[in-house]
Amino acid sequence: MSYAMDMQNFNTINDPITSEPKIIARDVNVFYGASQALKSINLNIGANEVTSLIGPSGCGKSTFLRCLNRMNDVIENCVVEGRINLDGIDIYNSGLDPVLLRARVGMVFQKPNPFPKSIYDNVAYGPKLHGIVSNKDELDERVEKSLRRAGLWDEVKDRLDKPGTGLSGGQQQRLCIARAIAINPEVILMDEPCSALDPIATAKIEELIDELRKRFTIVIVTHSMQQAARVSQKTAFFHMGEVVEVGETDKLFTSPQDDRTQGYITGRFG
């Protein structure tokens, strides 16, 4: 099916369109060996908005997130079926280089994982590797811009040569976000980015997420329903490998349509 046809048909699944889809997933099945982790997932990820994926442990939300930049490729026995289109290009079957894909679809992990290098080098690494900058001045500018966008510049500008691992947990996570946005991705995937952080650091990341969505499309996996409610425009509830319900976040948290969604978000099962 062509992208144009997809655009015409993308509302045939029960998924309200809140902004033009950046990523369209259709009939996505994922198997780890014999066991099926995702069952026929259909989802539209809107451009320049935050989509949160919620659900009990083992429901497949992280697996789905990792499909979006082919992180599952490195897992042995993992088979991904179906289509995932990024701006109309099938990321699995079009010969797209996974390394280039991951430059367009960046990722931030649960535990901050800065490289054992200086703060500067952590951010400069990607642009250098991808040849995005041609001289030192451009690199300096990019590092500063990325750190500013990640809301970290003022806190680290006087110690850029100090190791990134010496920062606090919240700062490290913002450093990882700066590192992810330094190579100008279009989409940022976040896998529980705040679960290791205290409430103040969490609030700073959430404020940052809201700021970042003006430039990037963001997909976030979170165990905190309040966080999903606070940061996202759209929420998808996963349960046992399926998308049970997807909708505008404010509607999903006030009037969910499916009993399972209601049961989960109100703390009746999970």
Partner 1 sequence: MPEKQDHIVSSFDKELRTIHEIIIRMGGMAENQLAEAVDALVQRDSAKAELVRAEDAKIDELEEELESAVVQLIALRQPVANDLRAVISALKISSDLERIGDYAKNIAKRSIAINQMPPQKSVTSIMRMSRLVQEIVKDTLDAFSTSDKDRAIDVWHRDEEVDEMYTSLFRELLTYMMEDPRNISACTHMLFIAKNIERMGDHATNIAETIYYLSTGERLEGKRPKGDRTSFQVLTPDSNGPNNDREIEI
Q: Which positions touch partner 1 (CB under 8 A)?
A: 225-226, 229, 253-256, 259, 261-263, 265-270
Instruction: Annotate 48-117 with DSSP letters as a single string.
Output: TSEEEEE-STTSSHHHHHHHTTTGGGGSTTEEEEEEEEETTEETTTS---HHHHHHHEEEE-SS----SS
Rounded least distance, CB 189 to partner 1, Å: 25
Nearer to partner 1, 94 or 226 (CB): 226
Rounded least distance, CB 258 to partner 1, Å: 11
Nearer to partner 1, 48 or 233 (CB): 233
Rounded least distance, CB 256 to partner 1, Å: 5
Rounded least distance, CB 199 to partner 1, Å: 14
Nearer to partner 1, 48 or 224 (CB): 224
The span from the CA of 53 to the CA of 255, in Å, is 17
The span from the CA of 222 to the CA of 99, in Å, is 26
Do β-strands 50-54 and 89-90 pair in parallel, antiparallel, or remain unpaired?
Answer: unpaired
* Per-residue burial over 158-187, b = 16 or more CB atoms within 10 Å of its CB, e = otherwise: eebeeebbebeebbbbbbbbbbbbbbbbbb
Nearer to partner 1, 19 or 262 (CB): 262
Rounded least distance, CB 226 to partner 1, Å: 6
Rounded least distance, CB 269 to partner 1, Å: 7
Nearest to 125 by CA among 143, 108, 113: 143
Rounded least distance, CB 259 to partner 1, Å: 8
CA atoms in the 13 A half-sphere facing the CB of 152: 29
Nearer to partner 1, 63 or 232 (CB): 232
The two structure tokens encoding residue 249? 């976040």
Nearest to 87 by CA among 182, 187, 183, 16: 187
H helix intervals, 115-269? 119-129, 136-149, 153-156, 169-181, 199-212, 225-231, 249-254, 259-265
Nearer to partner 1, 40 or 262 (CB): 262
Residue 22 has φ and ψ, to the nearest 5°, of -90, -40
Nearer to partner 1, 8 or 266 (CB): 266
